Structure 1
Amino acid sequence: MLGIGLVNMLVALDQTVVSTALPSIVAELHGFEYYAWIASAYLLASVVTVPVFGRLGDYFGRKRFVIAAVITFTVASVLCGVANDMLFLVIARGLQGVGGGMMVGTAFASIPDLFPDPRARVRWQVVMAAAYGIGTAAGPSLGGWMSEHLGWRSTFLINLPVGAAALYFIWAHLPSFQRPHEGEVKIDWLGAGLVAAVLGGLQAFIEAVPKDGLTAGNVTLAVCVVVGAIALFVCEKRATHPIIPLDLFKDSQLVTLFTLGMLSGFVMFSLIFFAPLLLQGGFGLSPQQAGLLATPIAACIALGSVLNTRIVIHMKKPTRILSIGFGLLLFASIGIAFANADTPHLWLELPMAAVGVGLGFILNNL
């Protein structure tokens, strides 16, 4: 569990440390057009690999994939740290996303194997929560300090000692559970490829239109995305083990949950990756100052999660906690949107904290 907790910390540290370093990376390597891709390449790769390796872990046991995930993630971190241009960095981030997706799909799925009793499992979840809390809370300020004093490359290389420790504990202590199964391994490879192509194409279209307008190339790209989405729909209807089970969308309550999850993710990733850019590029703050100001987002997610468990059990209508959470996100977004270089730092930290508390209320309950 200590090894799995360190894996969790790797994922949390990487997202929050790198987001604070991004403006420094762009300043040195140039290529601002790739700014969003540094986040998107990671997320796209992990979205596709989570279900694929989750299923492979079901068939062949999880330990070998957890070990492969840590090695892949750590090697990719080194490649990110030695990148000499933005395109290479984006490709390395994609490889890192593969490692991150393998981790989520296999390391976290090992917990029910280790603790079949739900009550014992809940007690051990504190290791996961603590590791994630330390990673997210320390990430922004650590990333800012390292960028300013050690250079942005150090924000990727910090994954090496954490990855080495995680690898040791998992290699030495994670049991090899292998579930009995019959028949061949069925994985929706075509569906996984189409998901990556459609989401990647959509991202490229969103990036290209504000820059070049509706050129013939961009219209062709939009048509390809639509055709890819239709092909994905047909593929998932026919697949025996679809990567996106379409039956889920017949349940209106689940569709509501998916929509709320998408909206909260939209706000969360926008602020985690673009608030440091606003603070450094827009307001002229140093990476260390920007990291300190962005820290309340990460730290208050943990605080919101703790408060949530105390509040929600006493509410007559527990779903109201979601309304409060989204209200806090709205307040925070307005506060940050109307801030400027002369805004006192306290008035920047308050909306950042509101984002964290709001996400703590939303993510746990969704």
Structure 2
Amino acid sequence: MSEKLGNVESPSSPTPGDAVAVADIYAPTEGLSKKGVLMWRLKLMAALVLPVYLETLDYTVVATAQPHIASAFNRLDLQSYIGTIYLLTSTVFLPVFASVADVFGRYLALQLALLFFLLGSALSTGAANMPMLLAGRGISGIGAAGILTTVRIILVDSSSLKENNIMSSMLVLLYAVGFSTGPAIGGALLQVSFRWIFAINLPCCVVSILLVFLLLRNRTRGALPPQLRDVRCFADEIKPEDQPVVEVNTFVDKLLRIDWIGAALFVAGGILLLLALNWAGNRGWDKAEVIAPLVIGALLIILTLTWEYALERKQRVFFSGMNGDIVEGKSERKPLPKAFMADAMIPVKVLGSFDVLVTSFAALGSGMVMLVIFYFVAIFMVIVSGKSAVDAGVQLIFFAPGMGVGTTIAIRIVKRTGQPKYAINLGGLIIPVALGLISMAVYNNTEGQIEGFMVMAGVGTGMTFGPLAIHARFSQPESRVAVVTALQLFARSLGGTIGLAQCSTILNSKVQHYFHNLPQSTLDSLSSNNATDVLNSLSSSSLDSVSAINALPADLQQVVRDAFQYGVRWSFISLIPWTGLAFLLALRLSKIHVKPASQAQVAAKKEEESSGSIVISGESLRSGVAAPNLAPLQERTDSGKSDVVVVGDEKAG
């Protein structure tokens, strides 16, 4: 039995499982023709290309321009914080924006992220002093976290493996463009003024906001009803007929769904941990200013997980009716305390999944490789090879084509086998081998070999980049898409921080070790003053800039360059155990099982093709798996081209 609503038939007596609007959950290309699918992808690419490019461009440009920016304020001692504070906020706010995307919808989350990025860029552009610049960088990092999270969630929202494969590849393509052109653009902007590095974001942000408004408004997944996060997480413990329908309509109600306590604990703990990792690379792991934030940050993360467990347990008890009396089959529950109305930011049940943990660890290793290659190949090119910052940045372009090739191979593997784990396994094998070959090329001081093996590392990274996200996404229920995506991104960003901290420590240690173990014949070949300078450098910070190295006598410069060559080589070697372990663990990944279309969905598709109407199966509405995008359907019904009909079985109404 159903009632007519305009051109749309809707069940008149929906069950609790059906109480989900079409716009809330959908597979964006379900029910569309091939031309419609192509148009959707083009619109999506047009709307997301600038946000992704902005985030990538900022990441690559500022990294090479930090010394010049800090010098403009005569605060070279704070140059590392220009990148560090951006890295901190862009990492710890990733899970927060995943919650925002679930509660307020993907569109609003992306617009909020772009607004933060715009404000941060404006503040950095007009900075009158270093603190103002750092504040702007921190705000920009929050926006970058939102852009990165929301874009990735939008691209993996589809329940189709094929669509996820294509969307993940689109994202890698967008990143490759940013990584390829970023260093060159940064060098050109720096020749004019460092402020243009931030000012270029302003018009791009405004255009992005307009494009997202025009192309994605009402076309992306909307706010998820609470039962998808609260009830479906415990669906295996609650009978379908006992699932409550929780109404959350007002803005205040939605704010209460944000896990503010978990977010505050996680952000505080994450910032302290990341600061400790950043400081450890230069100050040493035995310093109080490193140990204190490391310990406190770890305790806050543990407290975060404890709170998430308590939150989920309270909700489980509430929704299962254990705290109320059962009267005539209905539960008369006491109101749930407001503090426990939030959707868990990091569901503990997700962290119990072997596949989620392994793919996150592999993403962590991938993040280590990407960031270390960008920073330490640049160190090698500038200090050892004597190239300028711009020329060294150009050398990094070789990594991007490798990612493109790896992505193409991964697409074919996933398409042919239906399993992303095989691409993960092959790419996971290539990465440690490539790292070993890069270290060998550094030892040989052969730029051509370094460039070639960078391409190889890019191939391995590209082969795992998309499939890791796809495997994690399909290893969990639909309702956990956002949180699983955020965990993947957080692991990748955390990997970059850990990689830089580890490799910086090893670089400094190996450089000092090289100086301490200089052959006597080498010391004898230097003048006594130069030999003294070498010994003094062991306990001073005289080698912390390229200009300081260039100021040394020629024979002493060569000793320093050889020491850095030795240190960079061991920095790459130190990543091999991480990536090797990730490869071994990934061999144990389970096969994903993508739910095939049901008979009702197949019948709906045939009905649409034969009648020209757009048909939605009642089962799709109930399961939240295959309901199509409402906005394109509305356009077609408004134009009179087709009707929208809901078909289904007796459970659908």
Give the structure-2-normalised TM-score.
0.49
Supply the distance in 2 between the matched residues of 1:134 and 1:230 (Cα, whole angstroms): 38
| 1:278 CA drift (Å) | 4.2
**Structure 1, gaps ≥5 residues long:** none
Q: 2:197 aligns with which of 138, 155, 161?
A: 155
Supply the distance in 2 between the matched residues of 1:16 and 1:265 (Cα, whole angstroms): 14
Q: 1:238 aligns with which of 296, 310, 327?
A: 310
| 1:257 CA drift (Å) | 1.7
Alpha carbons of 1:155 and 1:203: their partners in 2 closer, same or farther (altered >3 Å)?
Answer: same
Is the 8 Å Cα contact of residues 38 and 90 (structure 1) preserved in structure 2?
A: yes
| 1:360 CA drift (Å) | 0.7
Q: For each residue in 1:192-232, what CA deviation from the matched residue of structure 2 results, as whole angstroms up to 9, or x when unmatched?
A: 22222222212332344552764555444343233323322
Instruction: Give the aligned partner of residue 321 of structure 1.
Output: 426
Q: 2:177 aligns with which of 119, 125, 134?
A: 134
Write out aligned runs for 1:39-58 (5 A).
39-58=83-102
Alpha carbons of 1:91 and 1:284: their partners in 2 closer, same or farther (altered >3 Å)?
Answer: farther
Instruction: Give the aligned partner of residue 357 of structure 1.
Output: 459
Is the 8 Å Cα contact of residues 146 and 152 (structure 1) preserved in structure 2?
A: yes
Instruction: Give the aligned partner of residue 104 of structure 2.
Output: 60
Write out aligned runs for 1:1-366 (5 A).
1=44, 2-29=46-73, 34-83=78-127, 86-110=130-154, 128=171, 130-147=173-190, 149-176=191-218, 178-179=222-223, 181=225, 182-183=247-248, 184-185=253-254, 186-209=257-280, 210-211=282-283, 214-240=286-312, 241-280=343-382, 283-310=385-412, 318=422, 319-331=424-436, 333-335=438-440, 338=443, 343-366=445-468
Is the 8 Å Cα contact of residues 4 and 108 (structure 1) preserved in structure 2?
A: no
Is the 8 Å Cα contact of residues 82 and 153 (structure 1) preserved in structure 2?
A: yes
The count of corresponding residues between Structure 1 and Structure 2 is 361
**Residue range with higher mean Cα deviation, 163-172 or 61-70:** 61-70
Q: For each residue in 1:144-173, what CA deviation from the matched residue of structure 2 results, as whole angstroms up to 9, or x when unmatched?
A: 3333x3243322222233223212212333
Q: Secondary structure at 1:176's aligned position in 2? A: coil
Is the 8 Å Cα contact of residues 332 and 355 (structure 1) preserved in structure 2?
A: no
Q: For each residue in 1:240-295, what CA deviation from the matched residue of structure 2 results, as whole angstroms up to 9, or x when unmatched?
A: 43322222232333322222111121121222244334433554322221121111
Q: Secondary structure at 2:346's aligned position in 1? A: coil
Q: For each residue in 1:59-104, what CA deviation from the matched residue of structure 2 results, as whole angstroms up to 9, or x when unmatched?
A: 3344333233223212312333344555543332221121122223
What amino acid maps onto 1:136 in structure 2? F
Is the 8 Å Cα contact of residues 41 and 90 (structure 1) preserved in structure 2?
A: yes
**Residue range with higher mean Cα deviation, 307-316 or 34-43:** 307-316
Supply the distance in 1 between the matched residues of 2:279 and 2:160 (Cα, whole angstroms): 50
Alpha carbons of 1:226 and 1:61: their partners in 2 closer, same or farther (altered >3 Å)?
Answer: closer
| 1:235 CA drift (Å) | 1.5
What amino acid maps onto 2:308 in structure 1? E
Instruction: Give the aligned partner of residue 555 of structure 2.
Output: none
Alpha carbons of 1:60 and 1:155: their partners in 2 closer, same or farther (altered >3 Å)?
Answer: same
Alpha carbons of 1:279 and 1:308: their partners in 2 closer, same or farther (altered >3 Å)?
Answer: same
Alpha carbons of 1:347 and 1:88: their partners in 2 closer, same or farther (altered >3 Å)?
Answer: farther
Supply the distance in 2 between the matched residues of 1:87 and 1:278 (Cα, whole angstroms): 31
Is the 8 Å Cα contact of residues 378 and 392 (structure 2) preserved in structure 1?
A: yes
| 1:305 CA drift (Å) | 1.0
Give the structure-1-normalised TM-score.
0.82
Q: Secondary structure at 2:93's aligned position in 1? A: helix
Alpha carbons of 1:264 and 1:85: their partners in 2 closer, same or farther (altered >3 Å)?
Answer: farther
Is the 8 Å Cα contact of residues 101 and 150 (structure 2) preserved in structure 1?
A: yes
Is the 8 Å Cα contact of residues 172 and 462 (structure 2) preserved in structure 1?
A: no
Alpha carbons of 1:335 and 1:156: their partners in 2 closer, same or farther (altered >3 Å)?
Answer: farther
**Residue range with higher mean Cα deviation, 122-131 or 3-12:** 122-131
**Structure 2, gaps ≥5 residues long:** 1-43, 226-246, 313-342, 469-653
Q: Secondary structure at 2:436's aligned position in 1? A: helix
Supply the distance in 1 between the matched residues of 2:291 and 2:176 (Cα, whole angstroms): 43
Alpha carbons of 1:320 and 1:157: their partners in 2 closer, same or farther (altered >3 Å)?
Answer: same
| 1:30 CA drift (Å) | 5.9
Alpha carbons of 1:284 and 1:273: their partners in 2 closer, same or farther (altered >3 Å)?
Answer: same
**Residue range with higher mean Cα deviation, 9-18 or 210-219:** 210-219
Is the 8 Å Cα contact of residues 24 and 287 (structure 1) preserved in structure 2?
A: no
Is the 8 Å Cα contact of residues 331 and 351 (structure 1) preserved in structure 2?
A: no
Alpha carbons of 1:34 and 1:265: their partners in 2 closer, same or farther (altered >3 Å)?
Answer: farther
Supply the distance in 1 between the matched residues of 2:310 and 2:277 (Cα, whole angstroms): 30
RMSD: 3.4
Q: Percent same amino acid among aligned pairs?
A: 24
Alpha carbons of 1:82 and 1:346: their partners in 2 closer, same or farther (altered >3 Å)?
Answer: farther
Is the 8 Å Cα contact of residues 22 and 277 (structure 1) preserved in structure 2?
A: no
Alpha carbons of 1:251 and 1:67: their partners in 2 closer, same or farther (altered >3 Å)?
Answer: closer
Alpha carbons of 1:249 and 1:102: their partners in 2 closer, same or farther (altered >3 Å)?
Answer: closer
Supply the distance in 1 between the matched residues of 2:383 and 2:413 (Cα, whole angstroms): 38
Is the 8 Å Cα contact of residues 39 and 273 (structure 1) preserved in structure 2?
A: no
Q: Secondary structure at 1:239's aligned position in 2? A: helix
Alpha carbons of 1:237 and 1:308: their partners in 2 closer, same or farther (altered >3 Å)?
Answer: same
Alpha carbons of 1:364 and 1:250: their partners in 2 closer, same or farther (altered >3 Å)?
Answer: same
Q: Secondary structure at 2:387's aligned position in 1? A: coil
What amino acid maps onto 1:326 in structure 2? I
Alpha carbons of 1:191 and 1:321: their partners in 2 closer, same or farther (altered >3 Å)?
Answer: same
